[in-house]
Structures are given as structure tokens and as C-alpha cells.
Amino acid sequence: MNVSGTKANPDWIAADWGSTSLRVWAIASDGTVIDHAASDKGMGQITKSDYEPALLELVGSWLEGLAGPVPVIICGMAGARQGWKEAAYRRVPCAPVAGDALTEVETSDPRLSVRIVPGLSQSHPQDVIRGEETQLAGFLGETGLDDAVICLPGTHSKWVSLEGGDVSHFLTVMTGELFALIGRHSILRHSVGEGNKGEPGPAFLEAVSRGIGNPQNLTTNLFSIRARSLLEDATTEDAGDMLSGLLIGAELAACRPFWEGREVHLVGAGGLVARYAAALKQIGATAIIEDGSGLTLAGLKQVRAGMKETSR
């Protein structure tokens, strides 16, 4: 846990409540970050009754001596059905966020005025986004682009089409979760081990080509990883690269309408984004890596600005 203990006296507080962590920022009236803190009390570690205490544990010192309630704007899993209070989805096409579409949360502490940013939903095909909508708002504000294709790699990768500043449609792919499940709980756990956490090698690129070229063969190609480790004594690094490449290749096959003939903005950081960039290059697509570290806060600032506009 990271708690500063500073008496920040913020104009408002921004919060990103994920499944495994909570991040908060004390924001001045001019948008400057005065202080920040974080804890590991994500949605998966707490119950509904724990949300307010978990928040106060981080921001309590910022509120000392303040007369009125401080606005707290939260994005992410606090608005899930299993979260603090469910924030109903907004249906696309629509702007990623809207200052007049927030869900208010009753609190015991009168110093808090909590609002949760809702996620987005899609009817055909049925799909949902929660948390990424705020990153998308930050992307629009930081890049100035109104039309773009965005990929947010992760446990559940999101492919998003932005048109005229609105989210027109999107697709979720469970690539990251499948990689973890197959690598840890299937027969392939004996071959993959910890996998390759470094730069993707030739085995990864070969598997990407197989995955996108014949996605219908995914399940047979997966077992070939096991066979190769037995017959050719493939390393755990190569096996991990093959598993990653096959799954990302199959994802790219499913998401072809998004990336074909378009630039893809990869939002994130680290090795996973590098793998997606290498995979897109392998199939002749153009990838632009966008640093996603500050986009959530940038999006929350846009929500705050929208709140001020609607209150006029």
C-alpha cells in the first residue's frame, strides 16, 4: 500500500478501481496532481461494505479540515454488478464518457461525494466495456484524433473503432485469460512453464502466422505445442511463445475488420504491447504504440470537465 499522509486539500479526487488494485489522485482546481496513492484492495479482494473504508484509507488525510464534500470520480470495477454500486452501461454508438451520466453512491462520510463512470454496451454482437471507456476518453483528448482503431491488450483485449469522437463498435477477446488458463491448468503447463517474458522470438512469429492463417485449427495447433516439446525438446520459452502466438494470431483473425487497411493504436506498455506490435507487423499491418499510463487520469479529468459543463 502507498499512502502519503499529505493534507492535499484537493478540488476533487480521481480514482481507478480495478479488479486487483485501487489508484487515487488528489487534483487541484487547475487540473494539477497534488498527490497520489494506491493499494491492492481491488474489487476481487473486498466486499461491498469495504469500498468506503478502502477509499478513506487512501484519501482520508486529504480531506482533513475541509468544510464541504469533495467530488470523487471513480472508473473501473467499482461500477460492476459485484462492485460498490452498479453503474448501468451506456449503449454505443456514443462518446466514451459523459459528465451527465454518472452513478451517485451514498456514503457514510459527509466529506465524500462519490460518482462512478458507467461502462459501455453493444447489442450486436453483445459485448461490454468497463474501465476502458475512460482510457478511450483520455486517448481522444491526448491525441486529438476523432477517428481511429484502438487495441487495448490485456486479460480481455478490447478492439475499438472510434468514429467522429464516438465509440461506434468494439470487440472483446479473452486472449490473456486463455493464455493463463491453458498455460497453468492444461496439459501444456508441463511444456510452457513460466513461458517467455522477454522479446518475442521466431517461434512466436511462426505461431502468429499459423494462428491467423488457420484459426479453425487452433485446438489442434495447441496440442502440437505439447508434441513438439516431447519430440523436439522445445524449450519452455519457445513453447510459451508458440502458445502466445497462436492465441494472438487467432485474435487477429477474429478482429480482421478492425485492422485490415487501417493503422492500429496499441494502448498499453511493456512486453504484451510489444508482442501485439510484432504480430501486426508480421501480417503487414501498421501499429502505433501509445503510452497508456496516463490515459485513465486524462479521461477522468474529461469526466470532471463534463460535470462542470452540465452544471452550468
Which pLDDT does position 197 carry in this prediction? Answer: 64
Which pLDDT does position 195 carry in this prediction? Answer: 55
Which pLDDT does position 277 carry in this prediction? Answer: 97
Which pLDDT does position 230 carry in this prediction? Answer: 95
Which pLDDT does position 196 carry in this prediction? Answer: 60
Which pLDDT does position 25 carry in this prediction? Answer: 98
Which pLDDT does position 1 carry in this prediction? Answer: 57
The full 3-state SS of 134-162, as one line of letters, equals: HHHHHHHHHHCCCCEEEEECCCCEEEEEE
> What's the pTM?
0.93
pLDDT digits (tens, 9 = 90+) for 228-241: 999 998 899 999 99
CA 225 – CA 179 distance, rounded (Å): 13
- Cβ atoms 241, 207 nearer than 8 A: yes
Q: Which one, of 152, 140, 159, lies nearest residue 257 by Cα?
A: 159
Query: Please, what are the domains in the chain?
Result: 12-130 (3.30.420.300), 172-291 (3.30.420.310)
Q: Which residues contact 2 (CB under 8 A, 6 or more apart)?
A: 37, 38, 39
pLDDT digits (tens, 9 = 90+) for 137-147: 999 999 999 99
Which pLDDT does position 294 carry in this prediction? Answer: 94
Q: Which residues of the chain have pLDDT under 50?
A: none
Which pLDDT does position 68 carry in this prediction? Answer: 84
